[in-house]
Structure 1
Amino acid sequence: MNSRKVVGLFLKTLAIGGVTGLLTSFFVKAEDYQEYLSPFNFMELIGLIVFFIGLGLVFSVVSQTGFFAYLFVNRLGLGLFRSFWPTVQVLVIAFVAFDLVYFPYQATKGEVSILWYLLMSVALLVYSWFIARIKAKETNKRAFIPALFFMVVITTVEWVPGLRTEGTDYAWLMIIPLLACNTYQLLILHRLQNDATGSNNTTKAKKA
């Protein structure tokens, strides 16, 4: 990809993070908006909106950092494990799915029901499976496991700060932008690469 496409990817992903962060706050932090709507306080309301947009932008940057880290890890894994890399990824996915239930529950000392963490882990796996199927369908079957690895493992690693906060509000405020940004980056990457390849071929044909 050329620099223009990289910058475009960054800005679009940033926008997705900001928008989803704001939309999520309408549901998760509805009481905060209600406080400034009744009685109506325009400046405080604008400040709250800007805060949640900014929070979404931060999570978008976290997502993009994780995405480029994943591209490096995937290349490194292929070099180290070669044909065993898909098996290693499946084992890591299983380990992370278990940890997503066990360790946060232990950290809260039972204050949050384990059912919440079970549902959270299952929901992430189901969503990731769905996205990985789309990725594999649009590219090739071998892309399924790496895509599932990215959506489950990398998203969970990015989500750790949100899981460490008290309650579930900021966990929700973080995971929705992360999933939106990660999904967009994963599904747009091969399209950008195909466009770049097509442009290069066209340029070569013109020169010939």
Structure 2
Amino acid sequence: MNSRKLVNFFFKTLFLGGIAGLITSFFVKTGEYSKNLNPVDFMELLGLVLFFIGLGMVFAVVSQTGFFAYLYINRFGLGFFRSYWPLVQVLLIAFVVFDLIYFPYQATKGEVSVFWYILMAAAILGYGWIIAKIKAKETEKHAFVPALFLMVVITAIEWVPGLRTEGTDYAWLMIITLLTCNTYQLLALHRINNKDSGKDANKANTKKA
């Protein structure tokens, strides 16, 4: 991937993060919008829209940082654990899924049913599983576990600041944006690389001809 495509990749992820943050805000911050609709206050509404777009972009940058850290971790894991790296990743995924249930539940001191945390963890795992299957189908079978590792473990680590906020509004804003950006980055990277490989092959064939 050349620098031009890397910059394009960065800004597309940033744009998606902004849009995801804005759309999610319509659902989790409905009250903020509704109180400026009666009567209509265009300046306040514009301020809210710009704020949530900006917030989504901040979360997109967090996602990008985690994504490139994941690329390094995956290479390091392959070199260090070798053939055991997929097993290590599976164990880490299981550990993080457990943590997504146990620690938030403990933080609420039983005020919120553990069922909701199980549902949340299952939803993240299930969504990650679907995206990982798509990644494996479009690339290679052994790409499934690393893709699931990104969608569950790396996303959960990126989500930690959102989990520490009071209430659930910003936690929802952050997780939806992170999942959107991580999905795009995971599925777009190999497509960009495949295009580059195809162009290089065409150039080589042209030279031979």
TM-score w.r.t. the length of structure 1 is 0.97
Q: Which amino acid aligns with 1:112?
A: V
For 1:110 and 1:160, how far apart are their aligned partners in 2?
20
What's 2:14 paired with?
14
Aligned to 1:44: 44
- What CA distance in whole angstroms lies between the structure 2 residues aligned with 1:4 and 1:206? 24
Q: Which runs of 5+ in 2 are unaligned?
A: none
Q: Please list the CA deviations of residues 56-108 of structure 1 after superposition, one character each: whole Å capped at 9, or x if unmatched.
A: 00000000110000000000000000000000000000000000111112223
CA distance in 2, matches of 1:113, 1:7: 44
Identity over aligned pairs, percent = 69
Find the aligned partners of 1:170 and 1:119 in 2 and give their Cα distance: 18
Distance in 1 (alpha carbons) for counterparts of 2:112 and 2:193: 44
Q: Does 1:115 align with 2:115?
A: yes
Kindly report the root-mean-square deviation, in angstroms, between the aligned alpha carbons of the 2 structures. Answer: 1.0
Amino acid at match of 1:206: T
Which segment is superposed worse, 194-203 or 107-116? 107-116
Count residues in correspondence.
208
Q: Match for residue 145 of structure 1?
A: 145
Q: Distance in 1 between matches of 2:113 and 2:29?
A: 21
- Report the Cα distance in structure 2 between the residues aligned to 1:166 and 1:106, rounded to whole angstroms: 15
Taking the aligned partners of 1:160 and 1:110, their CA distance within structure 2 comes to: 20
Which residue number corresponds to residue 205 of structure 1? 205
Q: Corresponding residue for 2:125?
A: 125
Counterpart AA for 2:47: G
- Matched with 2:154 is 154
Q: Does 1:188 align with 2:205?
A: no
Are 1:26 and 2:33 counterparts? Answer: no
Matched-pair contact (CA < 8 Å) for 1:147–1:186: yes
**What is the identity, as a one-letter code, of the residue corresponding to 2:81?**
F
Matched, 1:179 2:165: no
Q: TM-score, normalised by structure 2?
A: 0.96
AA partner of residue 106 (structure 1): Q
Deviations 1:159-184 (A, max 9, x none): 01111111211110101110000001
Whole-angstrom CA distance in 2 between matches of 1:5 and 1:120: 35
1:112 positional shift: 3.0
2:35 partner SS: helix
Structure 1 Cα separation of the partners of residues 68 and 124 of structure 2? 21
Q: Deviations over 1:148-207 (max 9, x none)?
A: 001000000000111111121111010111000000100111111111111222233334
Aligned to 2:90: 90
Per the TM alignment, residue 3 of structure 1 is displaced from its structure 2 partner at its CA by: 0.8
In structure 1, runs of 5+ residues without a counterpart are none
